[in-house]
A and B are shown apart, each in its own frame.
Chain A
Amino acid sequence: MSAPAIDVRALTRRFGSFTAVNAITFQVEPGEVFGFLGANGAGKTTAMRMLIGLLTPTSGSATVAGHEVTTEAELDRWRIGYMSQRFSLYEDLTVQENITLFGGIYGLSNKQIAERSSELLGQIGLERTRRELVRAIPLGWKQQLAFLVALLHRPAVVFLDEPTGGVDPITRRRFWELIYQAAQAGTTVLVTTHYLDEAEYCHRVSIMVDGAIAALGTPAEVKRDFGAATLDDVFFALTRPGAVR
């Protein structure tokens, strides 16, 4: 069995007296789609920022694609992709210019950039828009483009922070098909979402509550453990203990 793509051990982050992430431990296997769920303020973003090397842990360890994030943050970034919930491409550059820019930043050769541009744009049927300003293309396409740009340098692990917020229901599903394609090609995906139906598309999910992981397993396991019909019900039971529905 290969080493996990993400290996998190007792990872902790405190801000003053507040413990945002409290000794979380989990592993994600290569090629797995892992749903990283939790209410607003549960600590998901803080945990993700540590995993992508933007924030130093207070204690514990985390290895992503074989690199320890606490000691090798710089190196690490070349092995991971990240798509933030805020649209992260340049609106006043064309589709192709965005791809070329990010390809250049990740150290790809011109030849690699040309090859991968055609391949990526073909994958989402966007060749026509190659010369259009990103500002002018519909939101659903922008989100798919941002995802593929995050994959441009063929990272081993990609982090997606609410990639489908506000996107129409058809594009939302197309987006998940892209996620599956990436996973089948061996990329490990860690994704956050507020759409709990999407959590069902993940191989495994974790649910964070108050900085700790309160549930972890396949969607079926998690529902069984909580005797719940839907992940929505699990989520409710965990985040509002004692509340009456």
Chain B
Amino acid sequence: MSGSAAGPAVVARGLSRRFGEVAAVDDVSLDVTQGEIFGVIGPDGAGKTTLFRMLVTLLLPDGGTARVLGRDVVRDLWDLRTRIGYMPGRFSLYPDLSVGENLAFFAALFGTTVAAEAGTIAPIWRQLEPFVGRRAGALSGGMKQKLALCCALIHRPEILFLDEPTTGVDAVSRREFWDLLGTLRNSGITIVVSTPYMDEAGRCDRVALMQKGKLLVTDQPAEIGRRYPRPLFAVRGPDLLGLLGALRGFPNAASVWPFGESLHYTDAREAVSSEVIVRELQIHLAGVSISGATVEPIAAGIEDAFMWHMAEEKPA
């Protein structure tokens, strides 16, 4: 790895791109450190793909600047393209070539061979090898993603951009894919990855939450939870739907949302102790004839934080 061993992997300042009326990426600044997994987390339409396409030199920004591995994404694009690996969101390998043929093709494009790069792709190749003769189009969703990752790695890039590699992939395959990313990161490669799944934030070293073209917040996943600005509680009970209505009727409720088997209640007040809020909620619930509910203070997760920031951006 030459020329860029020191310094940040990605520096974007005021990066913007419009499509007609729509500001797909709106004044985004971010720094990615070498050797980290940096997650861009947001729903469809947040601008993740547009951001990635600018960072991998496939789309010109109409405002701001970005440097990847110290090279400008507009001026130094030819140099940069040999140093980055990019896995687009849509499956973009050749469905009628076999697994082995796809890999050989991408190796040839970058002037190398599969044999020469065996070490680089070893952790993934072990899982793909049983399917080497199968047409790429006939692979399962999880296996397609692994093949695409292999093809993005074949020229030994210093940084990998993975655009929604786990979208539409089942929960178990997602977990395995993230295990692979951890292995790659440990080998020294920088990974910038986007996902709509909030629960994947915990697998990243740092994350940026993205919505409507803007970054809402950037930090370590645990820190984003710690910075949740209000007291948060998990409320459980036999009738979640009844409980939801009852809690939303409490005058100090800032938000009440279902979270799996419990509801998350955020109090609108900043400086009231948890004990007081728990007691008030229990009195309120008893007053509307809800019995058997439990209330406990909890730490906020990424999804809580995302929803808080969304509501701040545009009051519901």
Contacts and interface: CB of A to CB of B under 8 A. Distances in A.
Interface of A: 38-41, 138-140, 162, 165-171, 173, 176, 180, 194-198, 200-201, 219-220, 230, 232, 235-236, 239-240
A92 B259 CA distance: 35
B6 interface: no
Contacts of A197: 259-260
Interface in B34-85: 42-46
Contacts of A220: 261
B211 interface: yes
A235 B140 contact: no
A25 B98 CA distance: 37
Given A139-B45, A236-B175, 9 more contacts: A39-B170, A40-B169, A166-B196, A168-B211, A168-B306, A168-B310, A169-B303, A169-B306, A180-B241
Given A168-B43, A168-B310, A40 B140 contact: yes
Contacts of A236: 171-172, 175
B217 interface: no
B141 A176 contact: no
B146 to A, nearest CB: 13
Contacts of A39: 170-173
Contacts of A140: 43
Contacts of A173: 257-258
Interface string B170-211: 111101000000000000000000001110000000000001
Interface residues of B, number: 33
Contacts of A40: 140-142, 168-170, 173
A132 to B, nearest CB: 13
Contacts of B310: 168-170
Contacts of A169: 43, 198, 303, 306-307, 310
A173 B198 CA distance: 14
B115 interface: no
A116 B198 CA distance: 35
10 contacts: A39-B171, A40-B141, A162-B168, A165-B167, A165-B196, A166-B167, A168-B46, A194-B171, A200-B261, A235-B171
A194 B172 contact: no
Contacts of A196: 171, 260
B108 interface: no
B5 interface: no
Interface string B293-316: 000000000010011001100001
Q: Which of B171, B258, B311 has the most CB of A within 10 A?
A: B171
B261 A219 contact: yes
Given A40-B170, A236-B171, A170 B261 contact: no
Contacts of B173: 39-40
Contacts of A200: 260-261
A198 B259 CA distance: 8
A235 B172 contact: yes
Contacts of A139: 43-45
A173 B244 CA distance: 12
Contacts of A239: 170, 172
A235 B196 CA distance: 20
A165 B43 CA distance: 9
Contacts of B306: 168-169
A173 B311 CA distance: 14
A122 B306 CA distance: 27
Contacts of B211: 168
Interface string B255-273: 0011111000000000000
B260 A166 contact: no
Residue of A138, A140, A165, A169 ringed by the most chain B CB atoms within 10 A:
A169
A210 B212 CA distance: 39
B171 A232 contact: yes
A184 B197 CA distance: 29
Given A173-B258, A180-B241, A167 B311 contact: no
A229 to B, nearest CB: 10
Contacts of B46: 168
B160 to A, nearest CB: 22
